[in-house]
Amino acid sequence: MGSHFWQGDKPLKQAHKGIPEGCYEEEQGLKGFYGPVSHLVKPEPSTRWVNIEGPLKPHMFDLVKLGSDSKKNKQSDKIKLLYNSDVSISTWKNLKQTSTAIRNADASTLYFCHKGKGVVFTEYGVLSFEKGQYLVMPKCLTHFFSAEVSFELLVVENHTSHFMEPDRGIAGRNALYDAQTLQRPNLEKQRALLKKLDLNITQIEVQHNSEKTVFTYEASVFDTISWKGDLYPFTLGMDDIMPIMSHRSHLPPSAHTTFVAKNFVICSFLPRPLEEDKDALKVPFYHQNIDYDEVLFYHDGDFFSRDNLHAGMMSFHPAGFPHGPHPKAVKGVGNKTHTNEYAVMIDARWPLKMTEYAKQVELADYWQSWKS
């Protein structure tokens, strides 16, 4: 790669600021938002395509329309939507209580609670979770979900590594979220709750090499007397994440990284003030995130960069074309001073495939939605 270079009518200084009136900036970058990068100024956004022929296009899924048989309450009701060899993304709806304990030997799992609340019993103690919280369940840790009313999870399975905290760099180790805000399992509370609910869980369904095997015991599998160590499940609430922003210039999505894994990252987009500088871009910049396929799950709030969105939708923008805000969002930013969106992004290094379930609830005309 060469050093920085520019061409055109006048030098461009700071990315995402001072974009000539009526023009659009497009970022083209390698390695997520960390690699070599250029910014191009164009009279129209590159999302102005009038036709797309071939398999590559932007996708939007309305997961609210996905069915699930709540009466049977089978653990297999988890519906896989997108996947590659590193990561699988599923939705798990109308879940009230798993029929056995679960142990996933194929993946570390990140659950994100989209609706409802509940508890998860583990060999390390019980954890409570509710809407807007992440639950990190390391590979092979036995767990059992229970709730009074049904809840809904977005499930991200990590097949080739484990979920780690992001490097906070110059922002310091307490930026984004403080380790002290992670909720740890409670063994004492678990004993009392299992007794109160009269739960005696004696079976574990283990997923290994994509096959299910059930281990049965005579007595409860949650019988830990004590434990120590730095491997355990935990929860992190979106409300305990302190978004990083600059009042002068739009920061890239990577500033909102919540967890990192081998070949994919999880980011959380949360309510925050918009940039104050008059010449600062206030909507996400148009970009080709050249090395990554991008998935965005819309959890709650007013979705800032797109029109006609509701909670429970999921967009999938593979690499290979630029994407960015919808024209109405660019015009509509007006005098807005804050965003009020809650969304989860999964950026995958290698191409993701769609399942038939995802295709069933795809919005057919989404690729045309950037037309002004």
* Chain residues in the site for Fe ion (CB under 5 A): 289, 294
Based on CB atoms, which residue is closest to Fe ion, 142 or 289? 289
Cross-strand bridge partners of residue 59? 316
Minimum CB separation of residue 323 from Fe ion in Å reads 6
Residue with the CB atom nearest Fe ion in the bound state: 294
Based on CB atoms, which residue is closest to Fe ion, 57 or 191? 57
Minimum CB separation of residue 294 from Fe ion in Å reads 5
Give exposure, 303-339, as e/b (b: 16+ Cβ within 10 Å): bbbbeebebbbbbbbbbeebbbbbbebbeebeeeeeb
Based on CB atoms, which residue is closest to Fe ion, 143 or 256? 256
Residue type, 270: L
Q: What is the 3-state secondary structure (H, E, C) of 335-370?
A: CCCEEEEEEEEEEECCCCEECHHHHHCECCCHHHCC
Q: How would you classify the pairing of strands 101-104 and 203-208?
A: parallel
First-to-final CA distance of the chain? 36
Minimum CB separation of residue 345 from Fe ion in Å reads 8
The CA-based angle 341-267-147, given to 5 degrees, is 75
Based on CB atoms, which residue is closest to Fe ion, 294 or 341? 294
Based on CB atoms, which residue is closest to Fe ion, 129 or 298? 298
Based on CB atoms, which residue is closest to Fe ion, 118 or 325? 325
Minimum CB separation of residue 234 from Fe ion in Å reads 28
Name the helix (H) or strand (E) containing 206.
Answer: strand 203-208
Minimum CB separation of residue 253 from Fe ion in Å reads 6
The first and second tokens of residue 174, run together, are: 């307490």
Minimum CB separation of residue 29 from Fe ion in Å reads 10
